């Protein structure tokens, strides 16, 4: 099992939060002055000490390991080689994640013989955010950031679903790696 800490796990967790690809919101930021052709190697940066906000994910070594593996596979597909921090990598990779409870209030219209009435339907769910950062190791400047936001519905109870969501979130984020 890999040991990269809470930061990496947080990112994966956030990716897993994505309960359905259609509802997953994904985006990227790329520094304009970055020449990605210079980057050939990366290493995992020191883990953050920030909690994710959900012990079911923070304390889940399978989730953390799967997330890190998904990122490593994605970066390898983009031609980056994982090296130890002592090998002076070109880029350091950080993960950040958070989980928060969301209350969604929706108007529900009911048609009946006296017209139409409106009720409020309240749905609460856990939403996770996963962020993957790449920092230039020489300048300590952020050069790339990817993020995914989605619900955790069904992820905490199913390892298969968690793996699918993490894979989808990381793939969608890294699709914009060089863009």
Q: Could you count the other beta carbons within 10 Å of the beta carbon of residue 119? A: 9
Overall average pLDDT of the 108-117 stretch = 69
Q: What is the pLDDT of residues 18-73, one digit of tens each?
A: 333 448 999 999 988 888 899 999 999 987 666 666 676 777 788 788 889 999 99
Q: How far apart are CA 82 and CA 43, in angstroms?
A: 6
Residues facing residue 151 across a β-bridge: 127
pTM for this predicted structure: 0.74
Geometric angle at alpha carbon 72, from 150 and 139, rounded to 5°: 95
Q: Which of helix, strand or coil describes residue 74?
A: helix
Q: Could you count the other beta carbons within 10 Å of the beta carbon of residue 79? A: 12
Give per-residue burial for 8-26: e unless 16+ CB within 10 Å, then b: bbbbbbbbbbbbeeeebeb
> Structural domains in the chain?
6-99+127-174 (3.30.160)
What is the model's pLDDT at position 77?
Answer: 93
What is the model's pLDDT at position 74?
Answer: 95
């Amino acid at each position: 099992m890999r040991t990269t800490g809470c930061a990496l796990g947080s990112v994966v967790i956030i990716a897993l939060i994505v309960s359905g690809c259609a509802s997953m919101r994904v985006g990227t930021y790329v520094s304009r002055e970055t020449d990605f052709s210079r980057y050939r190697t990366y290493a995992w940066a020191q883990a953050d000490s920030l909690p994710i906000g959900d012990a079911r994910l923070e304390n889940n070594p399978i989730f953390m390991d799967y997330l890190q593996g998904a990122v490593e596979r994605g970066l390898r597909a983009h031609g980056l080689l994982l090296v130890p921090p002592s090998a002076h990598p070109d880029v350091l990779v950080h993960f950040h994640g958070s989980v928060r409870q969301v209350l969604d209030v929706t108007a529900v219209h009911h048609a009946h013989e006296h017209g139409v009435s409106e009720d409020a339907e309240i749905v609460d769910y856990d939403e996770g955010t996963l962020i993957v950062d790449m920092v230039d190791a020489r300048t300590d400047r952020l050069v790339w950031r990817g993020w995914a936001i989605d619900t955790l519905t069904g992820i905490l109870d199913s390892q298969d679903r968690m793996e699918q969501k993490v894979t989808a979130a990381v793939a969608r984020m890294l699709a914009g790696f060089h863009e």
